[in-house]
Amino acid sequence: MKRSVLTDARGTPISMVIAGANRNDHLLMHDTLDGLAVARPKPTPRRKQHLCLDKGYDYAEPRRLAADFGFTLHLRTRGEEVQAKRHPKGKARRWVVEAAHSCTNRFRALLIRWNKKPQNYLALIHFACGIIAWRQCLPG
């Protein structure tokens, strides 16, 4: 089972979609962006909303979706991603998504996936994302 997650800048998961493991990441992008539980503020030229994607999204459809949803897209093409790894001063932008995946994997029922029904698995993922968001709101 594949998970597609959208996080804020701090790594708090704000949208999660699951699909079969044979689906490409870029095919889940519309459902992930459409699955936001809270209304986004309108992006303005002064306060842009950024969307950072990796090279798995280097297709025309994700570029169109980012424009349709009003995001400023940060997408490195396949050749740029390899060159960026060679520069030690380059800033990593996608580590917050990887941290969100790591936080959800700390829940044993999600890591091992005891549930066979996808809707039960998705409910546990949403429950785990709620706990993660609650923990990030706590002081200290």
Q: What pTM was computed for the model?
A: 0.80
pLDDT digits (tens, 9 = 90+) for 80-126: 656 655 666 656 666 788 888 888 888 888 888 788 888 998 899 99
Domain containing residue 98: CATH number: 3.30.420
Structurally, the chain folds into a number of domains equal to 1
Residue span of the structural domain in which 90 resides: 2-137
The alpha carbon of residue 138 and the mean position of all alpha carbons in its chain are separated, in whole angstroms, by 22
Structure tokens at 77: 């093409």
Q: What is the pLDDT of residues 42-87, one digit of tens each?
A: 888 899 998 988 888 889 999 999 999 999 998 877 666 566 556 6
For residue 122, which of 9, 17, 6, 13 has the smallest C-alpha distance? 17
